[in-house]
Structure 1
Amino acid sequence: MKSLLDRLNIKPVNAGASTGVDNWYTDKNGKELISYNPTTGEPIAKIIQATAETYEKVASEAQNAFLKWRHVPAPKRGEVVRDLGEALRQLKEPLGDLVTVEMGKIRAEGHGEVQEMIDICDFAVGQSRMLYGLTMHSERASHRMYEQWHPLGILGLVTAFNFPVAVWSWNSALAAICGDTVIWKPSSYTPLTAIAVTHIANQVMADHGLSGIFNLTIGSGRDVGELMLNDKRVPLVSFTGSTSVGIHVSETVAKRFGKTILELGGNNAIIVTPHADLEMATRAILFGAVGTAGQRCTSTRRIIMHKSISKDLTQRLTNAYKQIRIGDPLQPDTLMGPLVVNTSVEEMMDALNKSKQDGGEVLTGGEMLPNLGPNFVSPAIVKMPAQTEIVKTETFAPILYLLEYETIEEAIHIHNDVPQGLSSAIFTDSMREAETFLSVGGSDCGIANVNIGTSGAEIGGAFGGEKETGGGRESGSDAWKVYMRRQTNTINWSKDLPLAQGIKFGE
């Protein structure tokens, strides 16, 4: 463990704020935060959290850096992000291991998360030469109209524990090539991964003679988070977390006419039709529901299966669940590690009790496993008679609800009849069913898949959802536009001054 922490510059006691390689801030009034290993329950290291005074130092540095960074040509900004990606490649294994140690996801997923960081850096480098604006034909002779995109300012970035480094990269790589600076407030459950990433980013900045582009403030929502939300120097806040907190973020930032990117709850379902390949569907459901111990926002939480195949699919799933290897996520044969904290265990048990009260039957799993550690559970499959309130509520734990349907229209109605709208999928070999699911009358989610699961999105597409998921989009496609401000330009290269709409004024 010590060699891993040493390689990533993690000390027994760490400063909780930074703006560059020589600028780490430890406030004597900062509260102590302890990062715990969810597998063992043992402490890993301590952090001295940022205070209001520290936040002000970081915000001032980020603002000053932005005033210079915005003038650097976008392809030159892309060179910095390219070097960031190379630095991450060099440290993929230790950083991925730290994600596993601090968050609890299995080693393959921890390394995959760092690969996602590398991928988005590659994407952003290309995007730095493609910050396109449109040219429009003017209705007035000898006039030219076009739009261009300018850097926006400081991005306030609040990330969650379940993807402690990937979401930082989605936002930071694109924000950087767009000419913005970033202030990052990570989850208090995973502060060490944030410190490790910041050390890496700091060195890349230093190699280019920079500071203040990638900044860090570790602190509670009440202390650091509220300052960021109310800071008029921060025109854009990206928040990943619960719907309830997301509402507060949206309202607070909107009051000062700031913008938000909201990545909130997901209650993702897979429809399995009579025309589905059940072996393939079973494998997809298994990864979607059990991967990251059900703690992904895209985790599969509901299976809507046709009555004619429900018995077969249920048997396949229960058999597969009984073979899941639960344990130390660093071990190569482990398929599911712990939940991040013990309160998540309590929430899972509470949800299972409510589902039973609603007539649900736990077919397998749903047990605490204290012999493995304080945060271990067995993943549960629950057969429900109907989509009750607890099924419509996202529980961040490995609970899979099984529901039945008779017609594809009924399946889509059940699918959409939840407050969230992030990821969705259908398994079918019927083109008609697939296209119905993808049509305007089909899935109401931001992500809709055919014959792949709800989890594991690629960086090339825009990531996000509708309804109580928040409507935000990050990562690929044209998500870069939210990090910039659009400007429409009209140039008159004649000697006349015609007005739009043919208006005559004072003639």
Structure 2
Amino acid sequence: MPEPTHASGARLIVSRNPADLTDIVVERPLGGVEELVAAARAAHGAQPEWAAWPAPLRGRTVQNTGRLVARNKEALAGLITREIGKPYGEALGEVQEVIDTCDFFLGEGRRLYGQTVPSEMPDKQLFTYRKPLGTAMVITAANFPAAVPSWYLVPALLCGNTVVWKPSESAAAVAEALLALFRAAGVPEDVLRLVHADGDTTYAGLGQCLEEGLVQKIGFTGSTAAGRRVSELAGRHLQSPCLELGGKNPLVVAEDADLDLAVQGALFSGFATAGQRCTSLGTVLAHRAVHDEFLARLGAAVEDLVVGDPRRDEVFYGPLIGERYLQGFLSSLELVRPHHRLSGSTATGRITGDSPRKNFAGDPDTGVYAHPTIVAGVRPEDELYRTETFGPLVSVMEYGSFDEAVRLANGHGYGLSAAIYTDSPRTAFAFRERCSAGMISVNNSTVGAEAHLPFGGNGLSGNGSRQSGIWVLDQFTSWQSVNWDYAGTLQRAQMDVREIGADPGFRLG
């Protein structure tokens, strides 16, 4: 089938409801390199005037945005459910995260603090100030089409930067709705520009923007492979991007764990949002004393999950985001090897009338649904152990000693989130100390974030940058130091410091 085109000849985004592929949510022409560069020029030109707005006034636009999102919470959540297939309850939670982010950063408009620093010399004052970087290009994924963009857009704008935003092609309608809320809140048009483009066009356009000095910061959420390309491009221009990449997030079940609680945590970590979160559970590491019992309970719980139409209250997870995401997940199933075994249902792959699921709500043939899959018997040398699957698949491994659990938790090279279930504070704190993940949960799931806590990972999961809370301010500002000397004579640091005498031979007694 030929690729759909706009009347102008431009290729089209055709965003479909993944629960009903006949329902076209929106069609939009894809922009080219010239559209991205033009947006960056406009944003770059508007930045000095935006930065001149007092920070508390910029904070008021953030406050207005949060209030408008709250007023339109149900409509925005319904659009998220329709466009990417997230269950409505989860979609409401995502919209609440946008509201929480705005609530938090409203206050930061009055707290973009610098410091006064004591000088080693008289008649001299030292200060530090935060300065906006300039223009940011923000590139976001589809799985959290409202919350994750807000993590970038809100602090970037608050700090006095302008933004060019390239959302996922799979979430074009949600992006436009969120943009409309920012506009209505008082954010000027050129301060926040949105461009629909595909990945290759975005990469080429970003390169040209960097060459022309139009972009001073990159924010990117996506795969590790794409993040590497963005990081390499930024590095050529001595920039450090804010990268939020993939994960292979472990959940350790210690021998003293509350197994029912651990099963609930694994269920939500692994299968909420159809496993399409960067923080979704990758591998359960269960102590050999509880491995078999845990696996049996998890398998039974997964069998009872209701999959299907995301508008129904009883549905635990809905469709995958789209056909492309389904194909990626099906490729992950090819990593299952003969020595692995499936727990619970042995059905895998796409849910259809010919490959049905007992607990299914709706018509599977209208959408893009996948069977929940548990793969036991995974080994450290298996590709499945170290590959992000991005779908409803959870691996299970057995461990003997705590040292082995730590090695397995870190050994795949990702470092986004991790969880441990234990009643021992000693075990919990030891795991916290030795686990390489940027986010640790104790007796809770690997997924979930709060607006005032740093979010981000290490290793293959990112470059150490953090989003959310006060920590993200360092991503969108630079520090400027000022020394103000009013002595009336030149005072030279480290050279003209007054010495204090002492008697080196003094002894007590």
CA distance in 2, matches of 1:367, 1:54: 39
Question: Could you tell me which of 443, 449, 453 is aligned with 2:435?
Answer: 443
Amino acid in structure 1 at the alignment position of 2:12: E
Partner residue, 1:369: 351
CA distance in 1, matches of 2:272, 2:71: 26
CA distance in 2, matches of 1:385, 1:199: 47
Question: Could you tell me which of 402, 405, 423 is aligned with 2:399?
Answer: 405
Partner residue, 1:106: 87
Partner residue, 1:356: 337
Question: Could you tell me which of 457, 461, 471 is aligned with 1:469?
Answer: 461
Q: How far apart are 1:363 and its partner, in Å? A: 1.2
Partner residue, 2:491: 498
Asked if 1:265 corresponds to 2:265, the answer is no
Q: How far apart are 1:285 and its partner, in Å? A: 0.8
Partner residue, 1:31: 11
**TM-score scaled by structure 2?**
0.90
CA distance in 2, matches of 1:82, 1:244: 36
Partner residue, 2:20: 40
CA distance in 1, matches of 2:10, 2:407: 50
Amino acid in structure 1 at the alignment position of 2:444: I
Partner residue, 2:444: 452
Q: How far apart are 1:503 and its partner, in Å? A: 6.4
Deviation per CA, 1:375-428, whole angstroms, max 9, x where unpaired? 211111110241222221101111111111111111011100012100001110
Partner residue, 2:359: none
Amino acid in structure 2 at the alignment position of 1:500: A
482-491 vs 348-357, greater mean Cα deviation: 348-357
Residue 58 of structure 1 aligns to a residue whose secondary structure is helix
Amino acid in structure 2 at the alignment position of 1:233: L
Asked if 1:305 corresponds to 2:299, the answer is no
Report if aligned partners of 1:327, 1:334 keep a CA contact under 8 Å in 2: yes
Q: How far apart are 1:86 and its partner, in Å? A: 0.6
CA distance in 1, matches of 2:234, 2:25: 34
Amino acid in structure 2 at the alignment position of 1:317: L
Residue 190 of structure 1 aligns to a residue whose secondary structure is helix
445-454 vs 359-368, greater mean Cα deviation: 359-368
Q: How far apart are 1:273 and its partner, in Å? A: 0.5
CA distance in 2, matches of 1:483, 1:494: 35
Partner residue, 1:144: 125
CA distance in 1, matches of 2:396, 2:475: 38
215-224 vs 446-455, greater mean Cα deviation: 215-224
Report if aligned partners of 1:120, 1:170 keep a CA contact under 8 Å in 2: yes
Residue 500 of structure 1 aligns to a residue whose secondary structure is coil
Residue 129 of structure 2 aligns to a residue whose secondary structure is strand
CA distance in 2, matches of 1:234, 1:86: 30
Report if aligned partners of 1:158, 1:238 keep a CA contact under 8 Å in 2: yes
Report if aligned partners of 2:39, 2:195 keep a CA contact under 8 Å in 1: yes
Partner residue, 1:221: 199
Report if aligned partners of 1:155, 1:183 keep a CA contact under 8 Å in 2: yes
Residue 448 of structure 1 aligns to a residue whose secondary structure is strand
Report if aligned partners of 2:31, 2:197 keep a CA contact under 8 Å in 1: yes
Amino acid in structure 1 at the alignment position of 2:344: T
Amino acid in structure 1 at the alignment position of 2:459: K
Amino acid in structure 2 at the alignment position of 1:369: I
CA distance in 2, matches of 1:261, 1:77: 22
**Aligned runs of 1:85-484 on 2, under 5 Å?**
85-205=66-186, 210-231=188-209, 232-357=213-338, 359-365=339-345, 366-371=348-353, 372-373=364-365, 374-387=367-380, 388-439=382-433, 442-470=434-462, 471-484=464-477
CA distance in 2, matches of 1:485, 1:29: 42
Change (3 A) 1:108 1:493: same
Residue 430 of structure 2 aligns to a residue whose secondary structure is helix
Q: How far apart are 1:105 and its partner, in Å? A: 1.2
Change (3 A) 1:114 1:146: same
Deviation per CA, 1:261-320, whole angstroms, max 9, x where unpaired? 001111101111011111111111111101000000000111001111111111110110
Give the greater-gyration-radius structure (CA).
2
CA distance in 2, matches of 1:77, 1:384: 54
- After TM superposition, which residue ranges in structure 1, 4 or more long, deviate above 6 angstroms? none
CA distance in 1, matches of 2:496, 2:342: 72
CA distance in 1, matches of 2:331, 2:42: 45
Q: How far apart are 1:92 and its partner, in Å? A: 0.7
Residue 70 of structure 1 aligns to a residue whose secondary structure is helix
Residue 406 of structure 2 aligns to a residue whose secondary structure is helix
Report if aligned partners of 1:364, 1:382 keep a CA contact under 8 Å in 2: no
Residue 307 of structure 2 aligns to a residue whose secondary structure is coil
Report if aligned partners of 2:420, 2:442 keep a CA contact under 8 Å in 1: yes
Q: How far apart are 1:202 and its partner, in Å? A: 1.7
Report if aligned partners of 2:286, 2:397 keep a CA contact under 8 Å in 1: yes
Question: Could you tell me which of 50, 54, 61 is aligned with 1:69?
Answer: 50
Unmatched 5+ residue regions in structure 2?
Answer: 1-5, 354-363, 498-509
Residue 139 of structure 1 aligns to a residue whose secondary structure is coil
CA distance in 1, matches of 2:264, 2:192: 39
Amino acid in structure 1 at the alignment position of 2:178: V
**TM-score scaled by structure 1?**
0.90
Amino acid in structure 2 at the alignment position of 1:360: H
Q: How far apart are 1:229 and its partner, in Å? A: 4.0
308-317 vs 468-477, greater mean Cα deviation: 468-477
Change (3 A) 1:117 1:229: farther
Deviation per CA, 1:231-262, whole angstroms, max 9, x where unpaired? 12110000001111111101111212233000
